[in-house]
A and B are shown apart, each in its own frame.
Chain A
Amino acid sequence: MSSANNDPTLPHSSSTSSLNTPPIENTPQTPLSPATMLEKYKGRKDSKKGNAPILKQPFFKITASNKFQVVIQFLRNQLNYKASDPLFLYVNSAFSPAPDEIVSNLHKCFSTDGHLIINYCTTAAWG
């Protein structure tokens, strides 16, 4: 399924090496069209949101049928965070999806300009 590469909403920065990290670039197993997503650091203005490091590039593609757990794990890998390190993920700085929610559902319901915006921090911020 190559439609993701023709997706007009896909950011230009998507050619960095981190995109090749499995399991984000694995072959889609179901006929869902891949959603695009945006990992974005937004905690800079508010010290309450902890000192999570900033990603080198904030745009990623993920297979739509994946669970949100895959996003959490992917971000942990990107940040080099151990399973025991606290990390909180939010959609639209508003709520924390359960790890078993499906990325395509989140994208359909909560995306902005074709991107699902994920905010992350090391302490519960919008808890």
Chain B
Amino acid sequence: MTAPQNPITRAIWDGTLPIKFSLDSTEAAALGAKAIVEPYFIEAPRCSYFPLWTSQIRKYFVDMALNFIGDDAEIWYDVDGTPLKWHYPIGLLYDLHTGYRPDSNSPPPLPWPVTVHFKNFPTDKLIKAQAIDATQDFFMSMIKEADFLRNGSTKKVMNLSKNDQTQLWDGLWSKNYDKFWSVNYRLVINDGQMPKHVPMRIYLPDNCPVIQEPISPIDENGNQLTLGDVLHQVLPELFPSPLPSENASAAPVPVIHGIIPQLEIPIVWASQNLCYPDNFLHIVVLLGI
């Protein structure tokens, strides 16, 4: 089966990040590593999740004489001491934790240095999964939450056949664009109906709480709202106008999939084309340089 051709969703699907996984040095010694353990490099899709890479990463470090017999769900990751939420897409975590502005003059922090931990799971900061397949449950729940925002019910997801539902997750972990998007486009396009609300979350720096509001894609006159309109509506202090600021580098910008989208794009178009596989538009707002 083939998904409808869309160069934008295709490019987002194909987007990857080189990541460098290093072992926490004190932990390495406690787990029996005698010498310095070389880091492990992968190129992960931005749309993927860390638990999908855990068994591969674990195998590498155990083969390097690390003594670990625990469950994969005990393995966790951090960046500069901040634990990474395993149920967030990797690309979102990168944009959020590096705070890298694509319009800055400095090169991006790549490969992205991430620390792997085999001990001391921070249950106060991360959700402790009962098993590694919790990632699939969390993912499907996000898709349902998105459907509820669009339609006021989860009927569209629940009306998918069991096979089609499974295909969403299978397509994601097997990196099969056609498998995933041949089903997902039916959800995202919403049978051509204007969604009630746009499934989106906004992330601000400095551990601000995540913002999720019922955002209507049209105004009271039925005109389509743009990304700039929505940012202005939700964050008027940061976006005093729906239009781009004249002093571009000093103004806050939205970052999605590592790019700064134009503020003039309709929010519905953004939702249909720039959403992550979980059907949410995850927007990281970065402050001026």
Contacts and interface: CB of A to CB of B under 8 A. Distances in A.
A108 interface: yes
Nearest to B199: A109
Interface residues of B, number: 21
B114 interface: no
B148 A94 contact: yes
Main secondary structure on A side of the interface with B: loop
Interface stretch (B21-29, B210-218, B243-251, B255-263): B210-218
A127 B137 contact: yes
Q: Which of B137, B138, B209 has the largest number of chain A CB atoms within 10 A? A: B209
Contacts, number: 49
A97 to B, nearest CB: 7
B85 A95 contact: no
A29 to B, nearest CB: 11
B137 A108 contact: no
Given A100-B127, A108-B213, A94 B144 contact: yes
Interface in A63-91: 65, 69, 91
B282 interface: no
A92 B225 CA distance: 28
A17 B71 CA distance: 41
B141 interface: yes
A99 interface: yes
Interface in A32-72: 65, 69
B127 A99 contact: yes
Given A109-B197, A127-B137, A94 B153 contact: yes
A95 B148 contact: yes
Contact of B141 (A69, A98, A105, A110): A98
Given A105-B210, A110-B148, A96 B127 contact: no
B145 interface: yes
A97 B141 contact: yes
Contacts of B209: 65, 102, 105
A109 B144 contact: no
Interface string A98-127: 111110010011100000000000000011
Closest 5 CB pairs of A and B: A95-B144, A105-B212, A94-B154, A96-B141, A95-B145
Interface of B: 85, 87, 127, 137-138, 140-142, 144-145, 148-149, 153-154, 197, 209-214
Interface of A: 65, 69, 91-92, 94-102, 105, 108-110, 126-127
